[in-house]
């Protein structure tokens, strides 16, 4: 089983494919990045079913937390820098791209139940896994383990979420907020303390400020949106939904890269490790808190206040006319 965590597999793949395939694999691997999931779930929240999109966000957060938790327990370094074709943070096993893509994309496939998705999504997930090995940031064993964990989590969610949602629907808003914040605190303490007292490989330090930001804000944000903003997705015409998606994406993606550029200007490299780790955690928490508020409150508020985003379907669109013929 030495080949399972042997970088010779990475080298074979890099030598097998032409050099220009590096660009293709970098594009493919990007489909396993957090921003892609955020974009897809944000669109679902703005134009489809808000409740189902929120479930999707919690699946993303929980899968990401589990992956980070396992990496911090296993503490396996990534392959040698000499074969890495992209920069990566964090430990190696299991592969986050393999685990999260199989869970989140798999959940989307089960939700939409489209035949083409049952074909395309498995191929996409396998290509994402292959890209991680080719780009030299994971051993083949990492992506196999990540894929198996992701599929196991997906199966558990598929059978467990419907029962969990029925139970949660019986809770009061106060209970939902308390449970949600308690979950956020548990994940914050678990991952923050583990990361703070972990011996990291040089240059591979990461944190879960992004996950914690979403978990802390979502319970209260959902309550605020439901009580005061009340964005309506039902019976909205397709032009308004298209406008929501386009304008929302422009603002969200602009904010994502703009905030990244701004926060990257803050240099914490001269600090002692624990101080640096804590400040980096706080900075990531603030950055993703702002993105969460854009997705969950700012855009819904804009969509409600600006009428072109909430035009209702006409009667013709709702009920296509029936053409009758006389004999």
Separation CA 16–CA 285 (nearest Å): 41
Q: What would the pLDDT profile of 184-200 be if each residue is shown by its tens digit?
A: 999 999 999 999 998 88
Q: Does 120 sit behind a cis peptide bond, omega within 30 degrees of 0 on the bond before it?
A: no
What is the model's pLDDT at position 316? 53
Phi, psi dihedral angles at 236 (to 5 degrees): -95, 135
Our CA dihedral for 302, 304, 310, 312, rounded to 10 degrees, sits at 180
Tokens 């490790």 appear where? 273
Separation CA 58–CA 40 (nearest Å): 14
Q: What would the pLDDT profile of 299-324 be if each residue is shown by its tens digit?
A: 999 999 999 999 988 765 554 444 44
pTM: 0.90
CA dihedral sign of residues 80, 85, 88, 92 = negative
Alpha carbon 202 to its chain centroid, in Å, reads 26
Buried b (16+ CB within 10 A) or exposed e, 254-273: ebbeebeeeeeeeeeeeeee
Structure tokens at 181: 């914040």
Q: What would the pLDDT profile of 6-61 be if each residue is shown by its tens digit?
A: 788 888 888 888 888 889 999 999 999 989 999 999 999 999 999 999 999 999 99
């Amino acid at each position: 089983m030495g080949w399972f965590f042997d970088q010779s597999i990475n080298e074979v793949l890099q030598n097998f494919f032409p050099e220009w395939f590096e660009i293709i694999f970098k594009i493919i691997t990007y489909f396993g990045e957090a921003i892609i999931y955020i974009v897809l779930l944000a669109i679902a929240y703005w134009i489809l079913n808000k409740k189902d999109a929120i479930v999707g966000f919690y699946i993303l957060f929980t899968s990401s937390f589990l992956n980070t938790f396992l990496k911090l327990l296993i503490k396996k370094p990534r392959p040698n820098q000499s074969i890495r074709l992209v920069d990566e943070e964090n430990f190696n096993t299991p592969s986050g791209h393999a685990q999260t893509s199989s869970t989140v994309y798999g959940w989307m496939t089960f939700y939409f139940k489209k035949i083409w998705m049952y074909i395309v999504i498995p191929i996409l997930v396998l290509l994402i896994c292959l890209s991680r090995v080719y780009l030299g940031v994971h051993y083949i064993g990492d992506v196999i383990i990540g894929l198996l964990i992701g599929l196991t989590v997906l199966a558990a969610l598929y059978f467990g979420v419907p029962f969990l949602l029925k139970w949660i629907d019986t809770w009061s808003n106060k209970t939902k907020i308390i449970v949600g914040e308690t979950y956020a605190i548990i994940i914050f303490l678990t991952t923050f303390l583990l990361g703070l007292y972990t011996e990291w490989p040089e240059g591979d330090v990461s944190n879960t400020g992004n996950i914690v930001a979403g978990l802390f804000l979502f319970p209260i944000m959902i309550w605020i949106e439901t009580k005061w903003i009340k964005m309506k997705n039902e019976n909205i015409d397709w032009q308004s939904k298209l406008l929501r998606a386009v304008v929302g994406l422009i603002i969200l993606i602009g904010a994502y890269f703009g905030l990244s550029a701004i926060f990257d200007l803050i240099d914490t490299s001269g600090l002692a490790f624990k101080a640096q780790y804590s400040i980096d955690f706080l900075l990531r928490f603030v950055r993703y808190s702002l993105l969460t508020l854009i997705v969950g409150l700012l855009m819904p508020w804009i969509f409600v206040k600006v009428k072109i985003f909430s035009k209702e379907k006409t009667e013709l669109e709702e009920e296509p006319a029936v053409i009758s013929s006389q004999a």
